[in-house]
Structure formats: structure tokens, C-alpha cells
Structure 1
Amino acid sequence: MKIFAIRNEEDENRKDLGYLIYYEKPRRFYIELPDDADPWETPLILSSCLKRGEKTISAYWSKVWVQQRIIPSDRQNLGRILKDNGLDSYDEFKLLTMTDGRCSQDYYYITAVSEKNLPDFIKKRSKKKIKSVFPLEKNTFLISFQDDSVKKYSLQDLVGTDRRFAPVLNNGDIFRSVKVEVGGYGICWGENLCISREKLYTVGKKIPLTWSEIQSFVSNSTLDSAQAAAELECSKQNIDDLVKRGKLHSVKEGQRYRLFMKSEVEERRWK
């Protein structure tokens, strides 16, 4: 993760107007604006988000801000420009840092900062980042946050009449494909269909359990095929046969593994 302060060259005090955070592997940008950010000081696109009450700028709008400050990907002589700058391919992050984020349209620039020097408001927001999402039945799911709180949600209640989410609501497989957005900034189905951490943290039904307790429950309540075979004092082939005959039911399986509820395996021992 790389972090940069956003500043204005015309400001003698070099005030940090925001922070650009870049996740290297997924190549994802996010911008955090201060709680007391002034729309008149904030870069134009980011100011528009601020006026909507958004202080954590989404990956989409953060990337748009970055793209406005670098050579566009459809530039006619792009190949020559990249070669002259020692680049083998179009890399938004490298192009941005080569000029410290400067462009001819304004006086903003970026400067690297250490993670340990991040202001308190970002550290406070980090506690609201999403740690895990666990899909349940009927388009409901659990979310755990960095502060170890857990909440339950109905996707229908969250998105209302937003038609973009219709495929998710109408297809269980798509619904269960939900992922935590890079950096814990939300949950998403694909790159563009996302729900922000701010919205999720402020709504939902709080579950009187911590995520650590839920993890402990899952860990202590499931067995893999080898553990189930040991519990039933049989071979893994016998376990496979029980599954085929519907005498034992896996709760999750992949190409090379199956997980079973410990209680069902123990009940099998009684028969």
C-alpha cells in the first residue's frame, strides 16, 4: 500500500487536503478527505463528492481524479511516450508518481507519507472497514467490521428500487458471489456494483456476537473429510459413499475437499 498527501502548491502552509491510498496488487485507488474538508479548497471532482456528504471517495471517482492528471490511455502517440519514460505498458500509478500528480489544469500535487503518520481521522475510519461478508439465505448476509462488530442485512432493504441490483436479488449464485471490496471499503459484486462501508456501518441489525466468536463457532462446528472419517472410524471412501447415498451432507465442498457439520457426523455415530 502506498500513501500520498494531496496538497496545493499555492498554499504556503502546505496543508494536507486529502490522502490518496493506492493498493498495488489490484491497482486500486481511494481518496480520504478530512472531516473538516473545505469544498473550496478540495479538487473539483472530489469537492462534488464532498458536497454529497462523501469523505471517503469511491474507487471509481478516485480513479477518475487520477486519470485527469496523467496521459490518457487513448493518446495517439502513447507508445512513444511510454518508451521515452522507460515504461513497458500503461501504468496509471507510475505515470502519476512520475510528475508527483501535477497537471496543467491546477496547482495540486501529491507527496508520499508514511502509514504511521496517517492522521487520526483515517485511523478512526479504518475501524469501520469491512473484514468479512457471509451470505445467508433469502438475500441476507452478515458483515464483520474491523472493530469486531457484526451486523445482519437484507439486500432488498439496502438497495430498495435500485435496478442495478436486480440480477443479484434474482439469482442466488450471483448473490453468493459477494466479495469484500479491496481495502475493506465496501462489498461488491464485480468491480462497479458496490455498497460502501459508510452505509453498511450505519445501518443493519447488530448481532450480539463478535466475529471472533463466530469464527470460533465455525471452526469448532465443522469437520473435513479426514476428520469425519476419523470420527466415524472409517475410510474417506466410506465418507464419499455416505454422501452419495444422502446419509451425510456437506455444507461446503470444492474439487478436493468437503466440510461437514460436526453435529451431523456425531449423530451418525449413534446409528
Structure 2
Amino acid sequence: MKYFEIRSDLPDDEKLYGVVIYNEKRDEYLVELPEDLEYKDAPILLDKAIIDGTYTLGPRVSHLWIEQRVVPIDRQNIGSILNAAKLDEYNEFELLKHADGRCAQDDFYLKPIPAKAMPIDICSRLAKRIKDYVLLPDLKIIVFFRNGETRLCDLNKLQDKYFWINYLTINENFYYSLHLVTSGYGIAWDEKRFISCEELYSIGKQQDITYDMFKTFIYQRTISTTGVCDALDCSRQNVNDLMKRDKLHSVKDLDNTKMFLKSEIDERMG
């Protein structure tokens, strides 16, 4: 993971305008805005989140903002630009770093920071990141948060905000294609359909796990050794080596396979 502060080149401007989080494995961006940032000061395109009452921007909007700050691949002099950046081929993230995320439309730039330098208000959101989940068939989802809480989240409560929620269950395969976004910052069905961990936490109610919910969790969120090999594109020998090095942990050992939590595999994938 790479972290960048959004700063301004304007004289005497020490304000923090956000943090860009880049997941190298997934080639995915997220933007976190500080809670004291006002709508009038926020970078264009990112300001809508403040109106919506959320400070976590999903992968789609975050990437749209990043795209505006990178030389497009069809630029007439792209060869010279790549040479100047010492790149053999077009690489969006490397070009973003090379130009410090600057663009002609505003005064913002990106400043690399270590993870431990994340602002306190943004760090507090990290406790509300998603550790795992169980998707139920009626637009409800059990969410296990990293602060130890388990909440039942009714997605119907977000229908006024996200019209597409009404259509999620039309296609069962699509409905259950839900996945965790970078490091548990939210859930998504595709790049346009994203719900942040912050939003899920706010609509969720504390939930005790029933037996049926537990069975659903086992069915949805565990994976065999073969599935791990496919997900990580590695051999069984590699899986065993990860276990020996305490990098991977099985939850049950069977005669011909082992069972793992999908959330741990997702974490390794980024």
C-alpha cells in the first residue's frame, strides 16, 4: 500500500485536503477526506462526498480524479514523456509519482507519506474497516468490523442514495459477486457500485449471530486449498510454505485438503 497526502502549492496553505491510498496489487485507488474539510475547499470531483455525508471515496471516483492528473496514453508526445520519466512503457501510477500528481486544472499535488503519518480522524475510520461479511438474500449483510463489532446492515436504507441497490437482486450471480474493496474500506459489486465501511457502520445494528447466519458464513466465506491456489496463482507447496512461515492459517484440516477464511486470502491479494 502506498499513501499520499493531497496538498496545495498555494503560498502559506498548510491545509490537508485528503489522503490517496494506492493498492499496488489491485491497481486500485481510494481517497479519504479529512472530516474538517469544507465543501468549498475540497478538490473538484471529490467535493460531492462531503455533500453525501461520507469522507471515503470509492475506487471509481478516486480513479477518475487520479486520471485527471496523469498524462493520457494517447498524448502526441507520449514517447518523450515516458523517456523523461525513465519508463519503457506507459504506467499510470509511475507517471502520477513522476509529476507528484500535479495537473494544470488546480494547485494540488501529492506528497508521499508513511502509513503511520495518516491523520488521526482518518486513522479512526480504520477501526471501522471490514474484516469479513455474510451477504444475505434480502439486501441485508452481516458485517464483521475490525473493532470487534458485528452489525446487521440493511442496504434498503441506502436506496434513496444509491438507486442501483433496487436492482441488485435481479441477477443472483451478480448479487453474490460482492467483494471487499482495498483493505476492507468498503464493499463493491463493480467499480460503479461501492458502499464504504463508514456507511455500512452508520446503518448497521449490533447483531448476535444465529445458527443459520453461521452456516451461511461457512458456505460463503471459507475456501479450500485448491481455491487458495487458484486465487493466489500458486502451488500447494507454496500454500504449505506460507503456513509454515505463519503467513497463512487454516481453520480446519481435512484428509485431502484444508479450509481457509476467504478474508485472509483477500488480505494477501491486497
Q: TM-score, with normalisation over the residues of structure 1?
A: 0.69
Determine whether 1:44 maps to 2:41.
no
Displacement of 1:157 in angstroms is: 4.7
Q: Distance in 2 between matches of 1:37 and 1:112?
A: 20
- More moved, 55-64 vs 38-47: 38-47
Displacement of 1:166 in angstroms is: 5.0
Q: Secondary structure at the match of 2:89?
A: coil
Task: Mark the CA change 1:129 to 1:44 in structure 2 (over 3 Å): closer, same or farther.
Answer: same
Q: Distance in 1 between matches of 2:55 and 2:155?
A: 24
Q: Is the 8 A contact 1:100 1:110 kept in 2?
A: yes
Aligned to 1:64: 64
Aligned to 2:8: 8
Q: Is the 8 A contact 2:54 2:199 kept in 1?
A: no
Q: Distance in 1 between matches of 2:4 and 2:161?
A: 38
Q: Secondary structure at the match of 2:46?
A: helix
Residue 142 of structure 1 aligns with an amino acid whose one-letter code is I
- More moved, 110-119 vs 81-90: 81-90
Determine whether 1:55 maps to 2:55.
yes
Q: Distance in 1 between matches of 2:45 and 2:138?
A: 38
What runs of 5+ residues in structure 2 fail to find an aligned partner?
225-255, 260-270
Q: Distance in 2 between matches of 1:137 and 1:48?
A: 31
Q: Is the 8 A contact 1:133 1:179 kept in 2?
A: no
Residue identity (%): 33
Residue 108 of structure 2 aligns with an amino acid whose one-letter code is Y
Residue 37 of structure 2 aligns with an amino acid whose one-letter code is A
The Cα offsets for residues 35-61 of structure 1, whole Å up to 9 and x where unpaired, read as 111333332222343233332222222
Q: Which has the higher contact order (CA 8 A, sep 6+)?
A: 2
Aligned to 1:170: 170
Aligned to 1:245: none
The Cα offsets for residues 68-87 of structure 1, whole Å up to 9 and x where unpaired, read as 11112333443553355332
Q: Distance in 2 between matches of 1:58 and 1:45?
A: 12
Displacement of 1:13 in angstroms is: 4.8
Q: Secondary structure at the match of 2:101?
A: coil
Q: How many residue pairs align between the two structures?
A: 220
Larger radius of gyration: 1
Q: RMSD of the alignment, in Å? A: 3.1
Task: Mark the CA change 1:140 to 1:102 in structure 2 (over 3 Å): closer, same or farther.
Answer: closer
- More moved, 27-36 vs 53-62: 53-62
Displacement of 1:26 in angstroms is: 0.7
Q: Distance in 2 between matches of 1:163 and 1:56?
A: 19
Aligned to 1:92: 92
Task: Mark the CA change 1:85 to 1:200 in structure 2 (over 3 Å): closer, same or farther.
Answer: same
Residue 54 of structure 2 aligns with an amino acid whose one-letter code is E
The Cα offsets for residues 62-117 of structure 1, whole Å up to 9 and x where unpaired, read as 21221111112333443553355332333221111101111222221111111112
Aligned to 1:201: 201
Aligned to 2:114: 114
Q: Distance in 2 between matches of 1:84 and 1:11?
A: 28
Q: Secondary structure at the match of 2:199?
A: helix
Q: Distance in 2 between matches of 1:38 and 1:143?
A: 30
